Amino acid sequence: MSFIARLPATTSRLGSRAAVLKPASATAAVRASSSLSSGPESRSLNSILIANRGEIALRVGRTASQHGIRVTTLYTDPDARAQHALSSPFSFNVGETSAYLDGDRIIEIAKKEGCQGIHPGYGFLSENSTFAQKCTQAGLVFIGPPPKAIEAMGDKSRSKEIMTTAGVPCVPGYHGENQDMDFLEAEAERIKFPVLIKAVKGGGGKGMRIASSKETFRDQLISAKSEAMNSFGNDTMLVEKYITTPRHIEVQVFADKHGNCVALGERDCSIQRRHQKILEESPAPHLPEATRKDLWDKARAAALAVGYEGAGTVEFIFDNDTGEFFFMEMNTRLQVEHPVTEMVTGQDLVHWQILVAEGAPLPLTQDEIEAIMSTKGHAIEARIYAENPDQGFIPDSGRLLHVRTPETTEDVRIDSGVIVGDEISSHYDPMISKLIVRGSNRTEALRNLEMALEQYEIAGPITNIEFLKRVCRNPDFVSGNVETGYIEKHKGELFAKEPLEDEVLAQVALSCLLNDASGAKVAGPAGETVGFSPAYQERQFAFVEAAQTPSETTASTAPFNVQIQQTGDATFNIVVNGKSFENVKVEQQHSAPSSNVIASFFPHTRLNTTIIRDEDIITAFQRGRQYRLKIPRAKWMEKALRIKDTANSVLAPMPCKILRVEVAEGATVVKDQPLVVIESMKMETVIRSPHDGTIEKIVHKAGALFVVSALAITAIHAHGIQPYNSNIKSALNHPLTGANYDI
């Protein structure tokens, strides 16, 4: 069933509505813009090129195809087998990884293929005013705002000046051109710490740091400038007062070429990590109605102040302590979280974008939108990422070995750009999908979200699904008591280690036994191999919990031991770490290319467990929870491979590039002191010392690239800490480890 509302292709019905007055000020224009006006003739688009990849390319293509518009897609070399590349017969290879940023090449392809317009999606070139201008000059419709609006709102300093003039409140701070470090530090002291350091060309949390004191200001400024230059090619910074208990509330606006502008509600995006959103909801909980309407009015004023057209999001910081809100920035594109708004308005915002680009007036008035929203309840979106929450949410990558999604309904929607077997690339954003749910109220929406997350199974890369479940169960989130520092404030509960159920170990061991996963052949009395034979000798298995961080090793983790004895036809006695389960009956077992499902009757319950094995890593799903186990390597094998314990070395946590080495050989360091700064997917991560100690050896310099996540990059030696493992190279080159890289 489709959850995207299909709007009528014609807009002639709207053409007879009264024209909008053109007030002198943007603020005065807000109220008048609640009505629709007619204007220039519409220009139909019959063919568009989507200058993006993954989920958003599929999302835009779906709506375009529904309305009879031919779609041309692009793909880079790493994306040659991606779903968006396969979604259209008109798909073109643009070459290397960064080619989605090659605006001239993209325009050339669009012209050659007879496309009339370009939809930029989000990210990449979507907020590039130069690209938008070049599209117009080439005779192509840029399905987005005018270049001047993008330019005005893309410069954080200039946009705040415009907002102040338009009567939109802004956070106190320095937004000027002077980038001298001493001057910026003095401005920070004037504003008073804590302060937010933010790239003027930034977005998506990149180039943003919080300095809590004068002592940390310079380090944070250097880090923010480096990340901004790497991401946007511009390291100009602004400094603002950091509100200590803020909520991130944004308003979805839409404007057309006729002077009409509407607000399609607000979204609360306060649950964030690394300054990036992971949960969004609409409407924002516990927001006074007068404040809500004021936010909408200010957002429309912001859009009108820059002559906006199309979809945009005006972001505000809301002070939980005072109830005040301040303009933060405007994203001049469709947002990742736009499905939340679609769920509470029943509108297809991509179709709205196309209508506006064709010159049609907006399909609905402000009053009509509000009437619809009053009947739609509450919606929440959870972003499913390939990332490791236990390691600071660093991105993960790899092949999707198993994917099982919740059943989609009118109240449960999934937007994704990948299927089982696809690769989550280290070259691009690690988002796997977006799960969007709706309920008649927030309580019902939360129940639907938790249930859907329990049904969502992904094996391969580490994901944030288990973390999202814990957020949904947290009392403060359930009550709507949120702020942008929520994760840090609740880290004790959100990152608490959950116990491993004995029944999970029993099911995994049964699966290994019945599939002979160990490779050993044990004969029964009639010469049969292991299986449902009447009796055979006892089998023993050992598992450890799979390491979630590079410093965790099998050697430092006590194994879980499981003994199995078959006592009858498909009946077993199982002992897990001394706890016995007698007469466990295996009812059925289904094997598929990517998974194995085993159903068993225990003395106290019936269990269905889905099990996926990838070499020595086993992923199990049971009763709505995921478990990751590892089959420990035998001691004789570790000795043969000359592998030593690297728990006290500093390891690269993901495929990455070293940007900076912050220490020198022989230096004394303290626990949590920055050692190395790495970059992956254009996000900087600081690798810190796990102990007090002395740097024995710097293994790699700035600029070094890593394509595996288990390489030692720095060694520390002091207070019993192991020295750098010089034999790790031989282990990495051994075929059993699946790697062959110089280090």
Cβ of 579: how many Cβ atoms within 10 Å? 11
Q: 665 and 696 in contact (C-beta within 8 Å)?
A: yes
What DSSP string describes 393-457? TEE--EE--EEE-PPPBTTEEEEES--TT-EE-TTS--EEEEEEEEESSHHHHHHHHHHHHHH-E
Strand partners, 568: 571
- Here the tokens at position 262 are 């509407």
Active-site entry in 333, 413, 442, 660? 333
- The CA radius of gyration of the chain, in Å to the nearest whole number, is 28
- Give the H/E segment covering residue 46: none
Nearest C-alpha neighbor of 62 from the set 124, 6, 142:
6
Write out the two tokens for 87.
Answer: 């979604």
Angle value at C-alpha 594, between 499 and 388, nearest 5 degrees:
45
Is the Cα torsion angle 473, 486, 299, 225 positive or negative in sign?
A: negative
Backbone phi, then psi, for 424, in 5-degree steps?
-85, 110
CB 562 within 8 A of CB 555: no
307-340 core/surface letters (b: 16 or more CB in 10 A; e: else): ebbbbbbbbbbbbbeeeebbbbbbbbbbbbbbbb
| Distance, CA of 562 to CA of 512 (rounded, Å) | 11
Backbone angles phi, psi at 246, to 5 degrees: -90, 155
Joined tokens for residue 177: 């051109």
Q: Which residues, 6+ apart, have CB-to-CB distance to 306 below 8 Å? A: 148, 149, 152, 153, 162, 330
What is the C-alpha to C-alpha distance for residues 666 and 691, in angstroms, rounded to an integer? 15
Residue 81 known to be catalytic:
no
CA–CA distance, 620 with 667 (Å, rounded to integer):
44
Q: Write the DSSP string, 528-591.
A: PPSSS-S----EEEEEEEPPSSTT--GGGSPPEEEEEEEEETTEEEEEETTEEEEEEEEEEEEE
**DSSP letter at 496?**
P
d(CA 440, CA 557): 46
CA distance 329 to 153: 7
SS3 state at 316: strand
Exposure on the CB side of residue 692, measured as CA atoms within 13 A: 1
DSSP structure string for 549-563: STT--GGGSPPEEEE
The set of residues, in sequence order, having a beta carbon less than 8 Å from that of 634 and lying 6+ positions away, is: none
Residues with a catalytic annotation lie at 333
